[in-house]
Amino acid sequence: MILENERLDRYKLSSLTYCICGGDVLPFEIYKRWEEKFGVPIYQVYGSTEAGHVTYSRIGKEPKPGTIGLPLKSRECMVADPATLAPAAPGESGELLVTSRYTLKEYWNKPEETAKSYVQIGQKIFYRMGDFVSRDSDGELIYLERSADIIKHKAYRVSASEVEAVLQDHPTVIGACVVGVPDERVGERIKAIVVLKEDARGVGGAELLKWCRERLASYKVPGYIEFRDMLPKSKVGKLLRREIRDEERRRMRKDTKSIG
Q: Under CATH, domain 154-259 is a member of which superfamily?
A: ANL, C-terminal domain (3.30.300.30)
CA distance 215 to 143: 21
Which of 23-27, 106-110, 120-124, 250-254 has the lowest average pLDDT? Answer: 23-27
Topology (CATH) of 8-147: Rossmann fold (3.40.50)
Greatest mean pLDDT among 3-7, 142-146, 163-167: 163-167
Residue from 147, 148, 153 nearest 216 by CA: 153
23: pLDDT strictly greater than 70: no
Quickly state the pLDDT bin for 127 (edges 50, 70, 90). Answer: very high
Average pLDDT over residues 19-39: 83
Strands, E assignment, 41-172: 42-48, 52-56, 67-71, 76-80, 94-99, 118-121, 124-135, 141-146, 150-153, 156-159
CA distance 233 to 59: 29
**Torsion angle, alpha carbons of 151, 154, 157, 162, to 10:** -70
| Domain spans, the chain | 8-147, 154-259
Percentage of residues in the chain with pLDDT exceeding 90?
Answer: 45
Quickly state the pLDDT bin for 234 (edges 50, 70, 90). Answer: confident
pLDDT tens for residues 93-126?
889 999 999 888 999 999 998 998 999 999 999 9
- Count of Cβ atoms closer than 10 Å to residue 159 Cβ: 17
pLDDT tens for residues 132-151?
899 988 889 988 877 767 78
Residue from 108, 235, 239, 114 nearest 167 by CA: 239
Quickly state the pLDDT bin for 184 (edges 50, 70, 90). Answer: confident
212: pLDDT strictly greater than 90: yes
pLDDT at 236: 64
Residue from 131, 230, 148, 228 nearest 188 by CA: 148
Q: How many residues does the chain have?
A: 260
CA atoms within 13 A on the CB side of 165: 13
130: pLDDT strictly greater than 90: no
Which are the contacts of 201, defined by CB distance < 8 A and separation ≥ 6?
none
pLDDT at 256: 60
pLDDT at 201: 78
Spatial contact of 149 and 216, defined as CB atoms under 8 Å apart: no
Q: Which residue has the higher pLDDT, 148 or 49?
A: 49
Give the residue ranges of DSSP H helices in 119-240: 160-168, 205-213
Residue from 209, 211, 225, 120 nearest 176 by CA: 225
Q: What is the mean pLDDT of the chain?
A: 87
- Count of Cβ atoms closer than 10 Å to residue 251 Cβ: 11
